[in-house]
Structure 1
Amino acid sequence: MTHSNQPRTTGRSIVLLRENAVNEGVRTLASTTRTRGTDDIVSFENLGVAVVDVPPEELADASGDDSPILAVEPERYVYALGEPTSKMTAARSVTSQAEFDESHVTWGLQATGVANLKPNVDGSGIRVAILDTGIDFKHPDFQGRSIVSKSFIDGEEVQDGDSHGTHCAGTSCGSNKPSQLPRYGIAYNASLYVGKVLANDGSGSDSSVLQGIEWAIANRCDIISMSLGGSVEPGEPFSQVYETVAKRALNRGTLIIAAAGNSSDRNNGIRNPVNSPANCPSIMAVAALDSQLQVAYFSDAGINPDGGHVDIAGPGVDVYSSVPLLGKYDRFNGTSMATPHVAGIAALYAQVTGLRGRELWWILTQNAQRLDLFTSDVGIGLVQAPK
């Protein structure tokens, strides 16, 4: 469940700009690089970020106390962080279904208390953005649903050609009356925004992710769910660009929730650090649990001293949800599956409490179920629905 053989950076740069000086920052970038002008620089006004098609070394002297440029970082590739249970080898498989009867409701909805909620606790009035591989508009459980969508992948429509995005959207905001049981969706009356930031092969870049975040904030989304990331080395610091973007989002009432990553192999004693961008302190990082409420063998850990903590945990093993094609449903594993559980439950809290941003983060963690496990593995504990 790793992308260790994939490239980490694109050769381009992401640039953090002063929030009130984006246009000035773009002009400064154009004058200090080999670009042909401002048209060759992609900027995000709401975020105060730009992407430039030059390596970071070329911009090494661009930032400074009097400069509109605050930080320059290499642009990363990012990848979907989940896969079907059927793809796991027998030696690495985690099966633990004896604790829950899934004939009517998935184990994840039972473990988090969603199955016991009153019908009017459904995410009504809350905007949830799923930034992923898109969604299957033809799926029977999304028929008639109003979905705002946009693709940030050149040459690809929002229609999901992978299945990862449809699975995540199903968990967070899927129907409470699916075409066949069990029920798997949490905030089934939330307003669903789907940004395709990962291609149909499950890969993307910081540029597509930042475009998706910009779009979600411009559309006043209350929650952004990102089941994606790029690997981080032990001791590697978090991205100042993403951290500042997440802070600016929180200030506007938008909570970003992201998958911690799947690069660990706990069966062999390997705990790897939380992926980027989930390792940013202002992004809620989600670990994966199995149905016995134990840490999934693949779930990454908060082991880097400079940020990179796990904040909360969600169901992430053998998770049933919607997928495209004839099967309509499948079981996936990954912190990708845990993340939309947290995002969907965040929508429920936003509905019943009216809280947003940092206050919404606070109430999610205050009401989590404490576990007898290391906080570096599961954070505050298992996310719980409003009582």
Structure 2
Amino acid sequence: MAKKKASPNTNPKNNGATATSASVEQLLTTALERGSDTLETGRYIVTFKEGAGEAALDSFSSEHGLRVADARDFKDQAAVLEAADDADVFHFPEIGAALISGGAAQSRSLTAQAELTTDSPYETIEPEYFAFSDQVTREFMRTYGTKTEKTSGDFLRGFLQAAEMIAREFGFDQEGAIEEGVEAEVVGATWGLNVCKVPPSVRSGLGIRVAVLDTGFALNHPDFIGRPIASATFVGQPVQDLNGHGTHTAGTACGPKAPAGTTPRYGIGYRASMFIGKVLQNNGSGTTATVLAGMNWAIANRCPVISMSLGAQTGVQAAYTAAGQSALNNGLLMIAAAGNAAAPTGAPANSPTIMSVAALDQNLRPASFSDFGKIEIAGPGVDVFSSWYMPVRYKIISGTSMATPHVSGCAALWAETSPNLRALNLWKKLQATAKHLPYPATRVGAGLVQAP
């Protein structure tokens, strides 16, 4: 159990449904009950000034009388927020940030409106937001567009309805779903791998740890039987993926070189070490804190490639920027989906320390749904074939979510070529070797990612 510093002034019951240990469902229910017209959860994220971690923790306990739980008190820093019990604060040491409960933040005036003094160990205090798989965002925009702005609470409710819709067993459009035993329409390799020049590459991702932070993974998928997989959950549900999104993205980044039968090759880093972090629930929803917990775990486990097909249409969040910088400082690279709202790049991809990925169609044109603005690179993101939960086994879906693992998989291949290709060097190599496309950098970045 995480260690905490006791406080006679703190009553954990006062934190209610915005406690650090509150589940995503509790936070969603509470947000809907208060008629929220934003994606805020009611909790807050505190980002520390560089080198001020210990001072910040001391301030929480001695100055504000708060109880602190720490990710370092969990094996491999696989922090379980629900196990924080009565802690007011949950610390992510690799990032230099912490989650603070809504009740504690309000009673101590540690909210986004707080005026921080120059000698404060805190850099920023921001609202925590809900986060979704990019597929949820795309379904929301397709179904609701901007119509949900008319009534308080409709905005968040629309996202939840989109999440529930695609979380059902047949939530995604079934065209292109390939049941076990049915031949795929393509042979050899998927169109995405072919345009990224993956099949001719002699690299396999051997020795490279690739973290995929998503809805988990189908651990019983026959294409991965016998494959070592390190995993952790940060949302109070088993790692086993009942959504499909996480299995699909992990399949593209790390799937097998030669699937059985007539199934085309759909995986890139087939010998990479897989690290699966479940930061989104089976309905595709999570929060800033669940994502930060996964980021913290991936950094602690020194994964050179950290792939994230998730986010929210919010502005730049300081904690995500700090996480990206921590990754770079430790020789790691975070790669995130730009978003599917046909709008400016969402978080965490909009952070300057995280590589943002746009989606392309089979004609190598920017996908109509792909976000724009801060874009570093592009990948195949329309009608992408990859693994899915059983018994469906495989599926064809679209999104910047699908483009991102193409970049992450190629990043693993490049990282294998040299121990010097890490962090910013790996970022620059991916851009320098990308295939130039006749579109603005705000749509495709440096161009289409290419394998070594």
2:327 aligned with 1:249, yes or no?
A: yes
Deviation at 1:79, TM superposition (A): 0.5
SS at match of 2:102: coil
Q: Which residue of 1 aligns with 2:195?
A: 111
Aligned in 2, Cα 1:171/1:301: closer, same or farther, shift over 3 Å? Answer: same
Q: Which residue of 2 aligns with 1:362?
A: 428
TM-score if structure 2 supplies the norm length? 0.74
Asked if the contact 2:205–2:269 (Cα under 8 Å) also holds between the matched residues in 1, the reply is yes
Asked if the contact 1:32–1:62 (Cα under 8 Å) also holds between the matched residues in 2, the reply is no
Q: Which residue of 2 aligns with 1:144?
A: 226
Q: Which has the higher helix share?
A: 2
- Which residue type is aligned with residue 304 of structure 2? D
Alignment partners' CA distance in 1, 2:358 and 2:270? 23
Q: Which residue of 2 aligns with 1:337?
A: 402
Q: Which residue of 2 aligns with 1:69?
A: 122
- Which residue type is aligned with residue 396 of structure 2? R
Deviation at 1:87, TM superposition (A): 4.1
2:228 aligned with 1:157, yes or no?
A: no
SS at match of 2:51: coil
Q: Which residue of 2 aligns with 1:291?
A: 362
Alignment partners' CA distance in 2, 1:198 and 1:335? 17
**Cα RMSD between the aligned structures?**
2.2
Deviation at 1:7, TM superposition (A): 4.8
Correspondence for 2:206 among 119, 124, 148: 124
Segments of structure 1 that go 5 or more residues without pairing to the other structure are: 91-100, 265-271, 303-308
SS at match of 1:215: helix
Deviation at 1:33, TM superposition (A): 5.3
Deviation at 1:6, TM superposition (A): 8.3
Segments of structure 2 that go 5 or more residues without pairing to the other structure are: 1-35, 70-86, 137-165, 176-184
Correspondence for 1:208 among 290, 298, 302: 290
Q: Which residue of 2 aligns with 1:94?
A: none
Deviation at 1:54, TM superposition (A): 2.4
- Which residue type is aligned with residue 311 of structure 1? E
Alignment partners' CA distance in 1, 2:377 and 2:318? 22
Correspondence for 2:439 among 350, 370, 373: 373
- Which residue type is aligned with residue 123 of structure 2? L
Asked if the contact 2:357–2:404 (Cα under 8 Å) also holds between the matched residues in 1, the reply is yes
Asked if the contact 1:19–1:47 (Cα under 8 Å) also holds between the matched residues in 2, the reply is no
Deviation at 1:383, TM superposition (A): 0.4
TM-score if structure 1 supplies the norm length? 0.86
Deviation at 1:104, TM superposition (A): 1.3
Could you give the per-residue CA deviations for residues 53-80 of structure 1, whole angstroms, max 9, x where no partner exists? 1277732446332111111111111100
Correspondence for 1:300 among 371, 375, 382: 371
2:129 aligned with 1:81, yes or no?
A: no
Alignment partners' CA distance in 2, 1:231 and 1:142? 33
Alignment partners' CA distance in 2, 1:227 and 1:82? 9
Alignment partners' CA distance in 1, 2:296 and 2:335? 15
Aligned in 2, Cα 1:6/1:321: closer, same or farther, shift over 3 Å? Answer: farther
Aligned in 2, Cα 1:65/1:293: closer, same or farther, shift over 3 Å? Answer: same
Asked if the contact 2:256–2:266 (Cα under 8 Å) also holds between the matched residues in 1, the reply is yes
Deviation at 1:299, TM superposition (A): 0.3
Asked if the contact 2:68–2:90 (Cα under 8 Å) also holds between the matched residues in 1, the reply is no
Higher alpha-carbon Rg:
2
2:404 aligned with 1:326, yes or no?
A: no
- Which residue type is aligned with residue 328 of structure 1? R
Aligned in 2, Cα 1:262/1:33: closer, same or farther, shift over 3 Å? Answer: farther
Q: Percentage identity across aligned positions?
A: 45
Correspondence for 1:350 among 412, 415, 420: 415
Alignment partners' CA distance in 2, 1:282 and 1:37? 28
Deviation at 1:36, TM superposition (A): 5.3
Q: Which residue of 2 aligns with 1:268?
A: none
Asked if the contact 2:296–2:323 (Cα under 8 Å) also holds between the matched residues in 1, the reply is no
Deviation at 1:40, TM superposition (A): 2.0
Aligned in 2, Cα 1:297/1:47: closer, same or farther, shift over 3 Å? Answer: same
SS at match of 2:99: strand
Aligned in 2, Cα 1:7/1:114: closer, same or farther, shift over 3 Å? Answer: same
Could you give the per-residue CA deviations for residues 324-380 of structure 1, whole angstroms, max 9, x where no partner exists? 122210001000000000000000000012210000000000000000011111111
Alignment partners' CA distance in 2, 1:353 and 1:35? 46
Alignment partners' CA distance in 2, 1:188 and 1:313? 21
Asked if the contact 1:62–1:69 (Cα under 8 Å) also holds between the matched residues in 2, the reply is no
- Which residue type is aligned with residue 178 of structure 1? P
Task: Name whichever of 34-43 and 81-90 sits farther off.
Answer: 81-90
Q: Which residue of 2 aligns with 1:21?
A: 52
Alignment partners' CA distance in 2, 1:186 and 1:246? 23
